[in-house]
Amino acid sequence: MRVALGTRGSPLALAQAEIVAGRLRAGGVHVDVVPIRTAGDRLAQASLAALGGKGLFVKEIEEALLDGRVDVAVHSLKDMPARLPQGLTLAAFPPREDPRDVLIAPGAGGVEGLPPGATVGTGSPRRRALLRARRPDLRLADVRGNVETRLAKLRGGAYDALVLAGAGLRRLGLEPPGAVALDPAEFVPAVGQGILAVEARADAPGVLALLRGVDDTRTRMEALAERAFLAGLAADCHTPVAGHAELRPDGTLHLAGMVASRDGAAMLRGATSGPGAEASALGERLARDLLARGADRLLRASGEA
């Protein structure tokens, strides 16, 4: 069988697409990787929040899926809105990469080691809120562009530090000096961070059957819990919201969540646990808990509710 696999054209997106393509090829499938330029790529220097969020990175690829130009799409799950277009489904989740955020600041040794008033580059409202809560003195600067571009700006002195997803660095084989992984118990990762989402048409049984061999049960449970949490909050990718699920060796799924104001001054955290088979229900439960404690007010203040 031959399938066309759609992806963004950045070095990281292509590396991620090759992870999925390699698994399909190992099963005897011929895979054609099809790079697709998205609105988020065309508007690479603009603020994601001002443009409407990270759904900008998936719209054109989903259109290609729906009209049959590609059979499969690979996304970073954290880039995807909580709701999918009608007719599409998340068919597979390969094994998750490290979900933690990484602070890159040569010589600092972590957030506490940054000098007073240091400039930290990050385009994420979630990361900005968490950094402000820990170090209100830091100067936070918006940063866009691919991983290599951001690292070049750091080396050029545009920032004293950067915060990036550890998964992207690992998939690109990068080990920048001064990189320190941040504790996910405090710096709760973004919903879906470290997870690849393999999307397909719901009415393509042959393709869906092939993708079952790509799916990882543990990652699927974690993804479903985190996305149910995001959907339950009616939040989106450019809100200061975090959600991190971890399937423990005993089969218990632990889910931590956070909703914050943009300045990090107000922050609600919560957690829940239960059987992995109840992943979506756990996400919904945690969303209800935070909403009952006032998360809706924080979301409205962020312009999302």
Q: What is the CATH number of the domain that holds 48?
A: 3.40.190.10
| pLDDT attached to residue 38 | 78
What are the structure tokens assigned to 155, written together?
Answer: 């080396």
In a domain, 190, yes or no: no
**DSSP string for residues in 239-252:** SSEEEEEEE-TTSE
Q: How far apart are CA 303 and CA 235, in angstroms?
A: 10
Considering the domain architecture, whether residues 77 and 153 belong to the same structural domain is answered as no
Residue 155's domain comprises: 101-181
In a domain, 86, yes or no: yes
Considering the domain architecture, whether residues 224 and 299 belong to the same structural domain is answered as yes
Catalytic amino acids? 79
The alpha carbon dihedral of 50, 56, 57, 58 has a sign of: positive
Considering the domain architecture, whether residues 127 and 263 belong to the same structural domain is answered as no
Considering the domain architecture, whether residues 262 and 273 belong to the same structural domain is answered as yes
Residues 6+ apart with CB under 8 A from 215: 91, 92, 93, 94, 198
| pLDDT attached to residue 305 | 40
Burial of 254 (0-12, 13-18, 19+ CB in 10 A): middle
Predicted confidence pLDDT, tens digits, the chain (305 residues): 899 999 999 999 999 999 999 999 999 999 999 999 877 665 555 455 544 555 678 999 999 999 999 999 999 999 898 889 999 999 999 999 999 999 999 888 899 999 999 999 998 999 999 999 999 999 999 998 899 999 999 999 999 999 999 999 999 999 999 999 999 999 999 999 999 999 999 999 999 999 999 999 999 999 999 999 999 999 865 689 999 999 999 999 999 999 999 888 999 999 999 999 999 999 999 999 999 999 999 988 876 44
Considering the domain architecture, whether residues 248 and 302 belong to the same structural domain is answered as yes
In a domain, 186, yes or no: no
In a domain, 188, yes or no: no
CA-based radius of gyration for the chain: 19
**CA nearest neighbour of 302 among 208, 234, 255, 228:** 234
Considering the domain architecture, whether residues 302 and 241 belong to the same structural domain is answered as yes
In a domain, 153, yes or no: yes
Considering the domain architecture, whether residues 204 and 270 belong to the same structural domain is answered as no
| pLDDT attached to residue 251 | 94
Edge-to-edge strand list for the sheet holding 101-104: 139-141, 119-121, 161-165, 101-104, 179-181
Q: How far is CA 43 from CA 15, 51, 121, 151, 236, in A?
A: 22, 9, 18, 19, 19
In a domain, 187, yes or no: no
Residue for token pair 């690829």: 61
Considering the domain architecture, whether residues 200 and 53 belong to the same structural domain is answered as yes
In a domain, 122, yes or no: yes
Whether the CB-CB separation of 106 and 177 falls below 8 Å is answered with: yes
What are the structure tokens assigned to 293, written together?
Answer: 């404690």
What are the structure tokens assigned to 108, written together?
Answer: 């600092």
| pLDDT attached to residue 106 | 87
- Compute φ and ψ for 40, nearest 5 degrees: -65, -35
Considering the domain architecture, whether residues 84 and 199 belong to the same structural domain is answered as yes
Considering the domain architecture, whether residues 222 and 210 belong to the same structural domain is answered as no
pLDDT tens for 59-102 read 999 999 999 999 999 999 998 988 899 999 999 999 999 999 99
What are the structure tokens assigned to 147, written together?
Answer: 């991983």
Considering the domain architecture, whether residues 245 and 258 belong to the same structural domain is answered as yes
Which among 159, 181, 203 is the end of a domain? 181
Q: How far apart are CA 60 and CA 139, in angstroms?
A: 34
Q: What is the CATH number of the domain that holds 284?
A: 3.30.160.40
Q: How far apart are CA 63 and CA 161, in angstroms?
A: 37
In a domain, 177, yes or no: yes
- Helix axes of 11-26 and 147-155: crossing angle, nearest 10 degrees: 140
Q: How far apart are CA 276 and CA 254, in angstroms?
A: 9
Q: How far apart are CA 12 and CA 116, in angstroms?
A: 33
The total number of structural domains that make up the chain: 3
Q: Strand, helix or coil at 258? A: strand
Q: How far apart are CA 264 and CA 284, in angstroms?
A: 24
Considering the domain architecture, whether residues 167 and 245 belong to the same structural domain is answered as no
